[in-house]
Amino acid sequence: MKLAAIPIFIVGLCVGCTSTGKVTSEQLKYTQWQLSRVDGLAVPPSFNASMSFIEALQVNGFAGCNKFFGEGSLEESNLTVSKLGMTRRSCGGELDEFEQQLLQALKQGAELKIQDQQLVMQGEQTFVFIPK
């Protein structure tokens, strides 16, 4: 019985050693991402949102209607963007609402993971970005 437990223990150790998908600021630095899906649904071409990370985890991008920028902080794979600024255009109902949801996720903070070469931002909603 004790011998059977050894392989299970070894497998458990190996699984624990695999990549957790957690994100570091070094992984994000100088990367550009295009929004692909929200809550599992493909993003319409008119909701052309993107996000970039530059030096000192500064974040900038396009939320579908307006450009945005801010100072990102990453703690245990949770990204929060402070001092969030943006242009002030209105593009109409659905697009404005979508844009506010994305920006709210950045302000409130969301967990980041890199899975299958995609950046997954999980807050109240799940935003999936692909490399740009």
Q: Which helix (H) or strand (E) holds 15?
A: helix 2-17
pLDDT at 20: 55
pLDDT at 9: 33
pLDDT above 60 (res 16)? no
d(CA 125, CA 42): 14
- CA proximity to 69, closest of 97, 95, 50: 50
20 vs 29, residue with greater confidence: 29
Task: Collapse the DSSP code of 85 into the 3-class scheme (helix H, G, I; strand E, B; otherwise coil) and give the result.
Answer: strand
0.75 exceeded by the pTM? yes
Mean pLDDT of the chain: 85
Average pLDDT over residues 65-78: 95
Percentage of the chain modeled with pLDDT above 70: 84
Confidence bin at 34 (pLDDT 50/70/90): very high
Paired tokens of 23: 């994100």
pLDDT above 70 (res 14)? no
